[in-house]
Copies of this chain bind each other. A is one copy, B any other.
């Protein structure tokens, strides 16, 4: 008899944890992702700011599951569902399943302003991070050649939109780069003249944290010369300006670099799935699921992580964070194994261990249950937890060494402006012409 076939779509935190939890099950697992690697998204801002290399935070899916004999990896793309016949349509063929776990996550969302995507890149993929790295490093290069002080000042203004953990990490790190790393690099332009703005539409940054930790983060950012603007919504932007509105006041900021950390929306595969199920997506394009994380009509189809609209015991949507995805991945795997012996599990329950955000070198805020931490101790906790989480990565020691090195020397050696689009034009040996 053939084993029960489980297909997992998406190799992020949710999908990968589901695959690993099925290790000892009498199942055949197929993990499908259109990329060949798992990305450790919490450190993506380090790539965007030149502190780590892509390979420090991404690891080939195949090497993660290479010794899990019941799991194969397929680099492919899902384009449709035949839920009645339990089959997936891929760009190159079809696949049948007995159980399905969909974990394709979320992408940057612009609240209906998709035309802003090119002007204000988000930070969700490695390519995003390299694009942001290129943009940030390039403004200092252009500023070094610019004679007009007004344009130079606009060039040296960076606006980070969104005061969540990603926005705070980006703004804090950018402030350090301009004041320390790049200090002696330029002759005409002074990177320390750069102005970093962190803009949030809400009344405070880090809204998911207790109020006093938000205030602490804001204080720390200001100490690093970040200009924090709360209650300030972006109402318009182009390649030279961004317009902020606070109440009935509007202000125009002259800038050529806007980074978008303000919102996410679910992967578009959610809508494809809901169309196939004859239903519709919920808020933010997320897929409504039962308390057992599956579709109401199709109990063999689980949706987990940022793509899922799962509710907690109080009926509130669970947040789109890694711990939710991880716990849901494990739950879905266990449920599939329980059903193999005609068992079941109680509804999914999210264990919230807390929340943390780093603001830069030696500064972070953390809330773990009832405890709150700030300053160096919070930063060390943040570092420890993130390093432990990438324990599955064989190069964790190298990341640690790189990190220690960067910390001691203010070094950011991955300050490379690379751009595949220019490949042909640049195939010159050390081209300068």
Residues on B with C-beta less than 8 A from A107 are 427-429, 431
Residues on B with C-beta less than 8 A from A108 are 427
A332 interfacial contact with B, CB 8 Å:
no
Mark A107-128 against chain B: 1 for CB-CB distance below 8 A, else 0: 1100000000100001011111
A414 interfacial contact with B, CB 8 Å:
yes
Q: Which of B66, B126, B188, B426 contacts A125 (CB 8 A)?
A: B426
Instruction: Indicate if the CB atoms of A394 and B413 lie closer than 8 Å.
Output: yes
Residues on B with C-beta less than 8 A from A418 are 54, 126-127, 130
Report Cα–Cα, A415/B37, bound state, in Å: 8
Closest B residue to A11 by beta carbon equals B430
Q: Nearest Cβ distance between residue A81 and chain B, in whole angstroms?
A: 10
Report Cα–Cα, A414/B56, bound state, in Å: 8
A384 interfacial contact with B, CB 8 Å:
no
Which positions 54-78 of chain A face chain B at CB distance < 8 Å? Answer: 54-56, 58-60, 62-63, 66-67, 72-78
Given known pairs A420-B421, A423-B128, the reply for A430 and B33 (CB within 8 Å) is yes
Given known pairs A33-B432, A53-B55, the reply for A62 and B185 (CB within 8 Å) is yes
Stretch at the interface among A226-234, A244-252, A344-352, A397-405: A397-405
Residues on B with C-beta less than 8 A from A127 are 418-420, 422-423, 426-427
A34 interfacial contact with B, CB 8 Å:
yes
Residues on B with C-beta less than 8 A from A283 are none
What 3 A-B pairs are tightest by C-beta distance, nearest first?
A105-B429, A12-B430, A269-B433
Q: Which of B63, B103, B405, B423 contacts A395 (CB 8 A)?
A: B405
Instruction: Indicate if the CB atoms of B55 and A124 lie closer than 8 Å.
Output: no
Additional 10 contacts, C-beta under 8 A, given A107-B427, A395-B402: A33-B430, A34-B431, A36-B141, A60-B413, A92-B145, A104-B429, A117-B424, A126-B418, A127-B422, A267-B428
A214 interfacial contact with B, CB 8 Å:
no
A19 interfacial contact with B, CB 8 Å:
no
Q: Nearest Cβ distance between residue A61 and chain B, in whole angstroms?
A: 9
Instruction: Indicate if the CB atoms of B63 and A427 lie closer than 8 Å.
Output: no
Report Cα–Cα, A34/B431, bound state, in Å: 6
Report Cα–Cα, A261/B107, bound state, in Å: 39
